[in-house]
Structure 1
Amino acid sequence: MKFNIDSKLNSTRNLLQELGNSVSNLVNSSPDILDDPGIKSCLEEFLTVYQEAVQRLENPSFRIATIGTTSSGKSTIVNALIGRKIAPIEAGEMSGGVLTFKHSLQQRLVIAETEDAVWDTGEWTGLSDEDLYQRIRTVMHSYHDVRKKREYVAPQITAYVPLLPACDASLLGLPQGIGVELIDLPGLKSVQDRTNLATIQKQVNKAFSLVALDYMQVDDDHRKRLLEELKKVVDYLQGRTDSMIFILNRVDQRGADDLPLSVRIEKLREEIKEVLSLSELPDVLPFNARLLYYAQCAWGSKAFNESSQIDQKIRLELLKSMFQDCAGVIHLNTKENRDLKDWFYKLGNRVEDNDYIDDETMRTILRYSLEWSGGKELWDRFRVRVEESFAELVILPALLDVFDNYDALAQVLTILIQTRKIYNHEQVEQEREKIAKVRQDLQVNIKKIGKEFKLEIGQLIEGLKTHDPQTEIKMKQDAQKKERKGFSLIFEAVNQVEGDLTKVLIVPVRDSFKNNQGAFALRDKLQEVISTPLADDIAKTYDHVSRRLSQFSLQSEHLFKRVRADDDKGKKELEHDERHVRLLYYTIREAITARAEFFLQAKAKQFEQALESLVDEQVNRLKICLSQEDFASSINIEKAAISELKKKIAQSLPTLPEKFFEITDTIEQKSTTNKEVVGQETKYETRTKTEYQQYTESYEDGSCFKSTKTRTKTRPVTRNVREAVTRDITEEVEYVELFLPSPDLMAKQWLSGIEKGKGSLWDILLEWILKRLDYVSSIFEESVNDITNLAERALQQQLNIIEDNFEHEKQFWHDFEVKKDTITTIYDKLGEDFRQS
């Protein structure tokens, strides 16, 4: 394996050196060629990138990036792999920013200057491992403390120390002189803003990835959540799924009644393949990072067959921790071997008694630890993957600019050679006329093609902004027919924004209102998807609003409350109610914007692929300007112009726009007037009153025994009286009313804002796309002008050659073409050598 990597690297170095020497020989044999400014410029640019490539391949470095899901023990794994306790491994989320380890015999720490850093930045030398650990730990603590208040650019830390895989080259199978870098990347919870995500994406994209998973999250209850997080980690960080090893850490936590480990891992492999859309089942290795960390750090970063340089005191401290924390693992692996069990028992006693532990004993401990922890299997898998990925990760990046710049140089040299094959004045003049026609028609054609293409893209995006499902389907189908596969990626990413924002922001806030959830619980949930300051702002505002909403009554989808206009205290409370709700809308809007930008940054690779697919389509259309029959020429202007264009475009890669969209709030306050009883008044009024008085009258009884009797009767008597009358007093009373959206309506309004924001997002992306297409058109025109100018100068020189010394020049240019073809053969072989690797 070592031979294969060494062979590939040496072959590439030799071919690159041969390419450079051949170009230099060609130039030295034909110095007059440099007199032409176009060729001189191409040559200088090639020689610059060539020298850079030689330097990079003289001191190449293989990078391993460690990423992981929440609390997967990633930093412990890093320490185990480098053989030193340097990455902070305290309980809780400690990683933040990018912590890079580079091999160096002289220990040094560099903390890059970042904007408004509240931690020490600079460079320190002569530090012990403990000094390094404490300084890095302090930076991490400072970063996590300050980011609770506002966003900070995460720290960029580089520790130059002896690294185990560099000191023991057999572990990775790397040949002599190949550097090793390990990059400890933060968990997603520490990366919730676009700037830091972009920084980390650049690191992961250039490295082999080791992905840590937590065994305690692979049971049936938790596995779905783990895989969702894994997909986010890989998608957001844009890790190379073709260059990944997954390790299932903390397998020592497996219970006796759990499923067999092989069953768990096989199921996990199949699900990872499905979730990440892998072509093959991935490597998933059972691992115990803590055991390997203690044993490896007790040995140090020296090769296994060399002498350890670890201080006895440090060794004993690490071994005591190993026997304490990993007792179960040791017991499990020694219970079937009585002699081995006794050996470890006696060794444990020696460690407790602070006895000297010699290197030979330490080698035995380390050998068993590598076996039991999964470390041996991991290094074996590493060697296979390093060989598979080395060329693509180390060699190709150094050669890409060489390929682009040599292709451009070769094409301009070809134009010279083609002009020297024109043997008479008449043909020279014909070629000059064709070139003049190209220049004459070029500007019109470029503008026409550019305008038509931009109009087509604009109509496509306008159709997508309608939110009509049928239109969206048709637009998507049209894009696929025209092989704009990349554009479908933009379409999907924009649509996914809404789902992400709804799931991670809007629903949690709405449900918190409806379920009377506490502010701290909401904050903890939001901190998983947005920055701590934003999560705090929303939680605080939510707390104020939720307490105030209990004083409102529900009317349809609104919450209603009113106070009298003359009630100063009540109006003040109403102002506070409105202010807090508006503040909630403001903080939600800020969070939505930040989360959307973060989410779209996670899709940056898709956007770039989409944009480049559109650029490729535009370039193919622009070629028409140079391939029409009217312009048919023995001088291949088209190839030279396209090569020059690709070289220039590669030097100006696209980046996503800075700002995406805003969301408006809708809260209504109004004044009303009601007629109400405000008091009573009493008045005396004279009124006629009829009363009934009683009187008696006599009569005779009508019986046979007559007698006189009396009876009582009433009779009305009318007179005037004064009487008190009480009446209600009514007035027009002014009220101030406040209508606030209910939690459900809030969610609807926020969603509506996102819908509108998607329209704005399409506008911004359209501007971004059109700006790039304009740039390509401009560079294309510039490239064609450069090449046609070169061709015209060459034709003028050819006229002079025909008149002066034609036969001699014919032989010179024949020899020149042979030399140039020889160089191109070397160039082609260099590309083939890489492709085969």
Structure 2
Amino acid sequence: MIINQLQGSTPKKINIDYKLNNTRQLLQELGNSISKLVNSSEDVFSDPGIKSSLKEFFTVYQEAVERLENPSFRIATLGTTSSGKSTIVNALIGRKIAPIEAGEMSGGVLSLKHSQQRKLKIADTKDAVWDTGEWTGLSDEDLYQRIRTVMHSYHDARKKREYVAPQVTASVPLLPASDPSFLGLPEGIGIELFDLPGLKSVQDRTNLATIQQQVNKAFSIVALDYMQVDDNHRKLLLEELKKVVEYLQGRTDSMIFILNRVDQRGTDDLPLEERINKLRKEIQEVLSLPKLPDVIPFNARLLYYAQCAWGSGALNEPSQIDGKTRLKLLSAMFQDCASLIKLNTKENKSLKRWFRDIEDQVEDEEYIDDETMRKILHYCLEWSGGTELWKCFRERVKDSFAELVILPALMGVFNHYNALSKKFDVLIDAGKIYNQEQVKRKREKINDIRNFFHQHVKQIGKEFKAEIEELISGLKKHDPQADLEVVKNAKEKGYEGFNSIVNAVSGVEADLTKYLIAPVRYGLNNNQLYFQLRDKLQEVVSPALADDIAKTYDNVSRRLKSFSRESEYFVKSVRTDNDKGKKELEHDERHVRLLYHTMKVAMSARAEFFLQGKAKQFEQALESFVDEQVKRLKNHLSEQTFASLIDLENAAISDLQQKLDKNLPTLPDKFFEVQYDFKLNHTRKTEVIGQKTEYETRTKTEYESNEETYEEGSCFKETKTRTKTQPVTREYQEEVTRDVTGEVEYINMFLPSPDLMAKQWSSGVKKKKESLWVSPQNSGVRSYSGIHDQPKGLEED
């Protein structure tokens, strides 16, 4: 009765206070009832199985009581690249805490909790190069600078190796908690905001899993950039949005989409309402939403300046912001948001003059009182989209409070209560036996069931294993048509989740090809610069890995220029007596091997990241496998005369589900083994190997000249001379240099071309896809501290 009331939903008309108090009361009644039952039947609860289940139940029960005594409403900010998430967070809390400079977050998780006692906690993480610990009594500026320093340190450090992202928690007064009217929550409900990094800043499985845990328990704001929703960019934006929601595993039923920076729209843009309606339909289609989502046009910077100039206190109370800070923020608002203020005041001349007067006061550093600031904030809430956002929040809180705050606290109680109940039913059934004869017959029946149960569990397990192996063998054909047939067969056998696993496994290959293999191949074929490839790869792997690949790529790219292309290989020949040339060949090969090594490490890391994003699909698929086996087991039991003790089977299934929750599938370690396909051979050639000098006797004909005198025949005699030549032969010795030929031995190095490299890497992916179906012996998340550990002989020159 009590558990049914807890699981049932209360009418939406009943306010949140009633839901919370009623749940607390029902939970207390459940605990009291179980305690009374234990005290009245100590002999029953002395059973080891019951005692174990009871202990687990009271553990999660106590946790639920504490969570409901101090309930917290959580909001997570997701977003596409450079969408202004942190500015939005600061605008919503009324203070500058989240670092807003470009790239500040870079993968860290910032949690903001409402508290009158100001405190900063930076969790102690392995090998952290930033300060960790707890601090109290810090000002907003101190908080901001400390958080900023942590994020900067993490950003710089992860360029060299991978780290667990900083987990930063700042406890300060938050606007929606100080003024409950913003969210429509009753007093006493805690508020938490999570400023989560962009997806491109989270490229490893460990940090992704941490963020997924936060998003799963929170209401989500998804920030989009208006400058990316034009026809040229919208497709890329929606693709990124789909990945953000899919990888971070946000609940699409509790999301509000914010279209930030609408103040940057041009006068010739489509009407804003038309663009938003178009975007809503496309988001619904891309994310497969049951209804059109809320998309709110927003100007985060305007609201950020105005709200922080007021502070995080309620509007009906005096502001705690000092005059100097207020003037500084308003001055920035008038400077950065001038066009937006002008746009919204152009139809109201008196309002325009009023804002001009305020701007003059700010420039003259005149004090802006609270009443004036309230009025400024009122307009800024309207113009920025803040009023619409808080209204949307209140409506969603009313609809989703039970699912987001109450239900998560009770799920553990439900599961453990069911397990306890199933086991208890078995004992109750056994307690109906009153005489020895009945006891004897019942024991015999139980033994029969036990034997039958164990026998069929093993048989069903064998059938399941055989069927799965048959399905996997069909996938190993690497034939798309065969894959479709496998999925069809799996569905016929009752394995509804098999299709999602097939898609995830195939997705690994497509993802690695598109985001790692193809960019490196393109770079080598087109002489791309080092930093261009590095920046591209940083979108899909950690900065350290992207830098490793880019550096080795750069070395390989430069060295291949001294090779000639022959079919699928680059070839370079060096004489065996050329020691310097042979040394260079060794370096050439070593750098290509190093490129293969770094690609293998990156592919493994990216595969794990990709599959972590599909964790929900794997869990759902595994549950469908278990459900099918349970169904078959029930069919076997129902065929026998065991109906009276069917609860024994239910109890076993309940235990199985609990174990499944604690033992989720793990990913294979050392996922890829890429084979190096290098060739080396020796050849001989006949060619000039030297020169020799000889002396030869040669004859040479020379001509000697003799002059003679003669007279011209005319009436005027004139004497002239002329030259007369005659040949003379002489002998002489001449030095002659001749080439000496002989056989020369060469070492020929054949290195794979970029296209062949890509084929070999892709082949490594295909060969190891099947290992995704095998659970490794060592569970847990693999550490990346050894990313820079290179194979022997791969040290730098």
> What is the correspondence of 1:609-688 to structure 2 with a 5 Å cutoff?
609-623=620-634, 626-633=637-644, 636-679=647-690
Residue equivalent to 1:35? 46
Instruction: Extract unaligned runs of 5+ from structure 2.
Output: 1-11, 698-732, 781-797
For residue 609 of structure 2, the aligned residue among 598, 601, 604 is: 598
Using the TM superposition, give the Cα deviation of residue 515 of structure 1 relative to its aligned residue in structure 2, in angstroms. Answer: 2.1
Q: By how many angstroms is 1:221 displaced?
A: 1.3
Q: 1:135 aligns with which of 124, 146, 168?
A: 146
Greater Cα shift, 448-457 or 277-286: 448-457
Are 1:766 and 2:787 counterparts?
no
1:381 matched to 2:389? The reply is: no
Distance 1:285 1:396 in 2: 28
- By how many angstroms is 1:417 displaced? 2.9
Residue 365 of structure 1 is matched in structure 2 by: 376
The match for 2:311 is 300
Residue of structure 2 in register with 1:15 after alignment:
26
Residue 461 of structure 1 contacts residue 766 of structure 1 at CA under 8 Å; is this kept in 2? no
Residues 329-388 of structure 1, C-alpha deviation per residue, up to 9 Å, x if partnerless?
A: 111111111111111000111111111111111110111010000000000111111222
Higher relative contact order (CA 8 A, sep 6+): 1
- What is the aligned counterpart of 1:734 among 745, 749, 765? 745
2:44/2:427 contact within 8 Å kept: no
Bigger mean CA offset, 391-400 vs 623-632: 623-632
Q: Percent identity?
A: 70
Question: Once structures 1 and 2 are overlaid, which stretch shifts more, 97-106 or 538-547?
Answer: 538-547
The separation in 1 between residues aligned to 2:492 and 2:189, in whole angstroms, is 46
SS at match of 1:127: coil
Q: 1:289 deviation in Å?
A: 0.2
CA shift at 1:737, angstroms?
A: 0.8
Query: Quick check: 1:422 aligned with 2:433?
Result: yes
Residue of 334, 353, 367 corresponding to 1:342: 353
Contact 1:71–1:93 under 8 Å retained in 2: no
Range with bigger deviation, 215-224 or 615-624: 615-624
Equivalence for 1:527: 538
Worse overlay, 299-308 or 19-28: 19-28
d(CA) in 1 for partners of 2:668, 2:212: 17
* Distance 1:512-1:346 versus aligned 2 partners, 3 A rule: same
Change (3 A) 1:54 1:333: same
For the pair 1:456 / 2:467, whether they are aligned, the reply is yes
User: Structure 1: how far apart are the matches of 2:157 and 2:696?
Assistant: 80
Partner of 1:98: 109
DSSP-derived class of the 2:562 partner: coil
SS in structure 2 at match of 1:550:
helix
Distance 1:387 1:503 in 2: 43
User: What is residue 812 of structure 1 aligned with on the other side?
Assistant: none
Deviation at 1:726, TM superposition (A): 9.4
Residue 161 of structure 1 and its aligned partner are, at CA, apart by 0.5
Question: In 2, are the aligned partners of 1:80 and 1:294 still within 8 Å (CA)?
Answer: yes
Call closer, same or farther: CA 1:527–1:43 in 2, change over 3 Å: closer
- For residues 539 and 330 of structure 1, what CA distance do their matches in structure 2 show? 46
Task: Decide whether aligned partners of structure 1 residues 122 and 771 sit closer, same or farther in structure 2, where only a CA change above 3 A counts.
Answer: closer
What is aligned with 1:330?
341
Q: In 2, are the aligned partners of 1:582 and 1:667 still within 8 Å (CA)?
A: no
> How far apart are 1:481 and its partner, in Å?
2.1
Pair 1:537–1:413, CA change in 2 (3 A): closer
Quick one: which amino acid aligns to residue 367 of structure 2?
Y
Q: 1:552 to 1:348 in 2, by over 3 A?
A: same
Which residue identity does 2:258 align to in structure 1?
I
Task: Give the match's secondary structure for 2:689.
Answer: strand
The secondary structure found in structure 1 opposite 2:750 is strand
Partner of 1:110: 121
Which residue of 731, 755, 759 corresponds with 1:748?
A: 759
When normalised by structure 1's length, the TM-score is 0.84
1:507 aligns with 518
Q: Distance in 1 between matches of 2:479 and 2:567?
A: 29
In structure 1, list runs of 5 or more residues that go unmatched: 687-721, 773-837
2:87 pairs with 1:79: no
Please say which of residues 587-596 and 81-90 is displaced more in the overlay.
587-596
In structure 1, how many angstroms separate the alpha carbons of the residues matched to 2:681 and 2:416?
68
C-alpha distance in structure 1 between counterparts of 2:602 and 2:776, whole Å: 23
1:289 pairs with one of 300, 305, 314: 300
Cα shift at 1:536: 1.3
Residue equivalent to 2:447: 436
Amino acid at match of 1:409: L
Relative to the length of structure 2, the TM-score reads 0.88
The structure having more radius of gyration, on CA atoms, is: 1
Q: Is the contact between residue 85 and residue 297 of structure 1 (CA under 8 Å) also seen in structure 2?
A: yes
1 CA distance for matches of 2:551 and 2:264? 38
Aligned 1:98-497 pairs, distance under 5 A: 98-497=109-508
Q: Which amino acid aligns with 1:257?
A: D
Q: What SS does the aligned partner of 2:113 have? A: strand
Q: Partners in 2 of 1:331 and 1:76 — Cα distance?
A: 22
Residue 173 of structure 1 aligns to which amino acid in structure 2? G
Match of 2:702 in 1: none
**1-side partners of 2:691 and 2:328: how far apart?**
90
Distance 1:248 1:632 in 2: 59
Contact 2:77 2:221 in 1 (8 A): yes
- Worse-superposed segment, 72-81 or 37-46: 37-46
Measure, in 2, the Cα distance between the counterparts of 1:770 and 1:485: 28
Of 352-361 and 78-87, deviating more is 352-361
Write the distance in 2 (CA, Å) between the matches of 1:605 and 1:98: 21
Q: How far apart are the structure 2 equivalents of 1:207 and 1:603?
A: 19
Q: Which residue of 1 aligns with 2:701?
A: none
Tell me which of 49, 63, 77 is aligned to 1:52.
63
Offset at 1:656? 3.7
The structure carrying a bigger helix percent of its residues is: 1
Spell out, residue by residue over 1:37-83, the C-alpha distance to the aligned partner (whole angstroms, 9 max, x if none): 33333333322222221111111111110011111111000000111
1:715-726 alignment to 2 at 5 Å? none
Matching residue's letter, 1:445? H
What is the aligned length? 734
Deviation at 1:666, TM superposition (A): 1.4
Q: Secondary structure of the equivalent of 2:368?
A: coil
**Cα distance in 2, alignment partners of residues 65 and 757 from structure 1:** 36
Distance 1:480 1:444, change over 3 A: closer
Give the distance between the partners of 1:346 and 1:468, measured in 2 at CA: 73
Which amino acid in structure 1 is aligned with residue 56 of structure 2? E
Separation in 1 of the partners of 2:658 and 2:544? Answer: 43
Compute the displacement of 1:644 (Å): 3.4
Aligned-residue offset at 1:763: 2.4
Deviation at 1:99, TM superposition (A): 0.2
Shift of the 556–423 alpha-carbon distance from structure 1 to 2, 3 Å rule, reads same
Change in CA separation of 1:291 and 1:551 when aligned onto 2, cut-off 3 Å = same
* Partners of 1:247 and 1:210 in 2: CA distance: 7
Structure-2 change in CA distance of 1:652 and 1:677 (3 Å): closer
Cα RMSD, aligned residues only = 2.5
Q: Which moved more, 1:9-18 or 1:359-368?
A: 9-18
Q: Which residue identity is paired with 2:771?
A: D
C-alpha distance in structure 2 between counterparts of 1:417 and 1:626, whole Å: 20
Q: What secondary structure does 1:629 align onto?
A: coil
Q: CA deviation at 1:93?
A: 4.5
Over residues 109-151 of structure 1, what are the superposed CA-to-partner deviations in whole Å (9 max), with x where a residue is unaligned? 0000001100000000000000000000000110011111111
Cα distance in 2 between the residues matched to 1:94 and 1:156: 11
